[in-house]
Amino acid sequence: MRLAASMSRLGTESAFEVLARARALEAQGRKIVHLEIGEPDFDTPANIRDAAVKALAEGWTHYVPSPGLPELRRVIADIWGRERGIPCDWENVIVTPGGKPIMFYTMLALLEPGDEVLLPNPAYPIYESVVNFLGARPVALPLLDRNDFDLDLKDLQSKITSRTRLMILNSPQNPTGGVLSLENLEAIAALARKHDFMVLADEIYGRILYEGRHVSIASLPGMAERTIVLDGFSKTYAMTGWRLGFGIMDKELAQHVGRLQTNVVSCTAAFTQRAGIEALTGPQDGPKAMVEEFRRRRDVIVDGLNAIPGISCVRPRGAFYVFPNITKTGFTSRELERRLMDEAGVACLTGTAFGEYGEGHVRFSYANSLANLQLALESIRSFLAKATK
């Protein structure tokens, strides 16, 4: 098969590969605790499921406008305007099948080959994959545990050039659970205005926050027109399989992104968009209870990991991941990923799945029951006690 050269530059998400390996071991009768996949283990709240069933019965089974149902776009603009302080109306909002397409669509619309994109490292691997695919150049901004996984502003400033076109932010962050400080967001906004670059702010975990209030960089002065906010329903409402997300952006860019969507999928499924309206306007006790449960689990896994010799773990302030430092165990991140799966029955991801600065770490998702987390902690503790003797 003769493929386009760009295909050799397209990356992937190794979480799905690790999941496949874990399933193969399970098929042989092994018990594996799944801490590799980034999705809530809760069911989508009943009121949202009921709204989708009702929408199907009402005939929401046809094509709808490419940028999304106007009713849903209005609800999103209203809530994100009011609660996040982002100046926007419905024409700024594009509804997509999951938040992920916003990465591809907006980078396709903005980047030329050779453009530079500042992006956190470690980070969600799809950012770098898309940047490389388009022939643009990723410029890594290391996120280190000694900085509480926040950005180093001096490092950022030194990496801005005349080719810098876009900066990608993610807060709360996957894989570290870190949250960018308000001071850093303000400093980034000032740099974006001064050097005229755009910001893709991935705020998919914005409502899974354990302290303080989520601040969107798009709410800072002069930033709405140069920020693309990526958000969605997957994490907040446990709706990963529904494929429902959105972007909030400048209206002109929104029209081009809408046209890209016409070319790719025509539109997002109509009945899921109706359910999205219910998710945002119906009772919010389901998502709130989920965050409280995640907080309990976070504390159990952080305290449990810190009690294991060789592991030290920062207490994350958002999302549902921990990113402990494992250098003192003597294993590389990849070795530990493999051996924890094979010898301790715990599936996790090597920190390097998120970029080179993830070395020395592994990522555990704590979207699993307290009982399974306790089991995983005990298995990791006894594996390391034997393996590092």
Q: Site residues (CB under 6 A) for ligand PLP?
A: 38, 98-100, 124, 170, 174, 202, 204, 232, 234, 240, 245
Min dist CB 98 to ligand PLP, Å, is 3
The angle subtended at Cα 250 by Cα 248 and Cα 255, nearest 5°, is: 90
Residues 6+ apart with CB under 8 A from 289: none
Nearer to ligand PLP, 104 or 383 (CB): 104
Nearer to ligand PLP, 325 or 365 (CB): 365
Min dist CB 71 to ligand PLP, Å, is 20
Min dist CB 234 to ligand PLP, Å, is 3
Min dist CB 266 to ligand PLP, Å, is 18
Nearer to ligand PLP, 90 or 233 (CB): 233
Instruction: Give the residue nearest to ligand PLP (CB).
Output: 98
Nearer to ligand PLP, 95 or 377 (CB): 95
Min dist CB 309 to ligand PLP, Å, is 30
Nearer to ligand PLP, 206 or 345 (CB): 206
Nearer to ligand PLP, 180 or 344 (CB): 180
Min dist CB 360 to ligand PLP, Å, is 21
Min dist CB 293 to ligand PLP, Å, is 19
Nearer to ligand PLP, 36 or 337 (CB): 36
Tokens of 346: 């715990």
User: Nearest-CA neighbor of 293 among 363, 238, 349?
Assistant: 238
Exposure b/e, 72-90, CB count within 10 A at least 16 = b: bbbbbbbebbeebebebeb
User: Nearest-CA neighbor of 90 among 74, 78, 75, 102?
Assistant: 74
The angle subtended at Cα 176 by Cα 171 and Cα 182, nearest 5°, is: 35
The SS3 assignment for 247 reads strand
User: Nearest-CA neighbor of 206 among 318, 73, 289, 288?
Assistant: 318
- DSSP strands (E only) in 274-371: 321-322, 346-347, 349-350, 362-365
Three-state secondary structure string covering 128-190: HHHHHHCCCEEEEEECCHHHCCCCCHHHHHHCCCCCEEEEEEECCCCCCCCCCCHHHHHHHHH
Nearer to ligand PLP, 180 or 377 (CB): 180
Min dist CB 389 to ligand PLP, Å, is 36
Task: Please state, in angstroms and as integers, the Cα–Cα distance from residue 13 to each residue in 17, 28, 37, 53, 126, following that order.
Answer: 8, 25, 10, 32, 7
